[in-house]
């Protein structure tokens, strides 16, 4: 079904002989420190005696950073079981052709080209794959998802993260998630794609994890939606709170990252994604806000220059220009307006 050249960057396993899929064909998961093994078995036992010139089953995997992905295609209906420990990954399955049904705990969920699956590979589940089937799987580490969720909620999780199994690709952010999962698979097919750049890969991973947590329904979705600024990671909120509290001090970005609880690289990535600015540009804007606050309150006789210097603005001309761009008026106008409001009415 797929062009072999598109899988050049993947580790590919193929089966030509139906006997290979009679319950003995086993694929070990390519995740780090995993002992999970997937066992494949053709549903139609009559096929075991036939021979085919072309592969009847293909699975291709590639891991990059903390993302693991696979492409799989099957000519005939197949059952897949998983042996080993409970999964440390969540798998997001998108169908390219045919359908697949996951049965676990007596409940069955079916994915088609219009719907997907999110599931945690491990014992106790059975995947039933249709004839003429092709599918993509993108895996994310459970630990990465739970850590990101804790930062979004700004508190520890009291229960493990659990996703609803079915995904409707036609709705809201879930549709956006589908587009991004497709994008990830396309990039993994390229030698010079995002995985070739550690910085770009880290940014993509953070973006994907955020979209997964907002686009796929789970047991924390309602709380996430009710959080006042839920879409903004706690990294950003903590960093901005620290900047406001220490705006008059000579802080460096390393101090901000430490207060936010992340690395300098992550700090830059989340600010670019969620604020479309560098952390330094945000600090500059916050310091302008702090200057305006002092000028507006008019609580001291300090000059505009003295207040500006308190927050690191030593060049009067550049300060006035930046202030005007942000607030649409000069610092002197802010002081005059504040003074006018402070005067008692005469009647």
pLDDT 10s per residue in the chain (347 long)? 566 678 889 999 888 877 777 665 556 555 555 667 778 888 988 887 788 888 889 999 998 888 999 999 999 999 988 887 667 889 999 999 999 999 988 899 999 999 999 999 888 889 999 999 999 999 999 998 998 888 778 678 889 999 999 999 998 899 999 999 999 999 999 888 888 888 778 878 888 998 999 999 999 998 887 765 445 677 888 899 999 999 999 888 989 999 998 888 888 888 988 888 899 999 999 999 999 988 987 656 689 999 999 999 988 999 999 999 988 999 999 888 877 765 544 43
The reply to whether the predicted model has a pTM over 0.75 is no
* CATH no. of 232-342: 1.10.10.60
Task: Indicate if 232-342 has the same CATH topology as 4-221.
Answer: no
CA–CA dist 194, 196 (Å, integer): 5
Residue boundaries of the structural domains of the chain? 4-221, 232-342
Helices (H) and strands (E) counted in the chain, each on its own, are: 11, 13
The number of beta carbons lying within 10 Å of the beta carbon of residue 192 is: 8
Dig out the tokens for 91 from the structure. Answer: 């798998």
CATH 3.40.50.2000: does it fit domain 4-221?
Answer: no
Q: Sheet containing 115-119: which strands, arranged edge to edge? A: 11-15, 57-64, 67-74, 133-141, 89-97, 115-119, 166-168
CA–CA dist 138, 67 (Å, integer): 7
What Å distances lie between residue 29 and 39, 119, 122, 128, CA to CA?
A: 11, 15, 11, 18
């Amino acid at each position: 079904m797929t062009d072999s050249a598109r899988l050049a960057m993947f580790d590919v396993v193929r089966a030509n002989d139906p006997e290979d899929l009679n319950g003995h064909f086993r694929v070990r998961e390519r995740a780090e420190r995993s002992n999970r093994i997937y066992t494949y078995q053709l549903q139609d036992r009559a096929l075991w005696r036939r021979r085919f010139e072309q592969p009847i089953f293909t699975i291709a995997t590639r891991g990059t950073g903390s993302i693991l992905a696979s492409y799989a295609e099957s000519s005939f209906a197949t059952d897949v079981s998983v042996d080993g420990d409970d999964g440390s990954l969540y798998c997001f399955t998108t169908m390219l052709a045919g359908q697949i049904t996951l049965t676990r705990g007596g409940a069955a969920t079916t994915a088609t080209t219009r719907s997907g699956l999110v599931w945690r590979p491990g014992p106790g589940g059975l995947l039933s794959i249709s004839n003429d089937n092709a599918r993509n799987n993108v895996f994310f580490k459970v630990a990465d998802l739970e850590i990101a969720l804790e930062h979004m909620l700004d508190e520890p999780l009291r229960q493990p993260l659990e996703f609803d199994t079915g995904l409707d690709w036609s709705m809201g952010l879930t549709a956006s998630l589908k587009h991004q999962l497709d994008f990830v698979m396309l990039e993994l097919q390229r030698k010079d794609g995002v995985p070739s750049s550690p910085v770009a890969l880290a940014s993509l991973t953070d973006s994907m994890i955020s979209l997964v947590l907002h686009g796929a329904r789970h047991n924390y979705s309602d709380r996430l939606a009710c959080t006042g600024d839920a879409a903004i990671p706690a990294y950003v909120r903590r960093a901005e709170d620290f900047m406001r509290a220490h705006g008059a001090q000579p802080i460096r970005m390393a101090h901000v990252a430490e207060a936010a609880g992340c690395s300098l690289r992550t700090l830059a990535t989340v600010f670019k994604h969620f604020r479309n600015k560098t952390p330094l540009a945000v600090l500059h804007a916050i310091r302008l806000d702090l200057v305006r606050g002092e000028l507006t309150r008019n609580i001291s006789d300090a000059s505009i220059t003295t207040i500006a210097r308190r927050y690191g603005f030593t060049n009067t001309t550049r300060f006035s220009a930046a202030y005007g761009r942000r607030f649409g008026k000069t610092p002197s106008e802010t002081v005059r307006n504040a003074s006018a409001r402070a005067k008692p009415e005469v009647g």
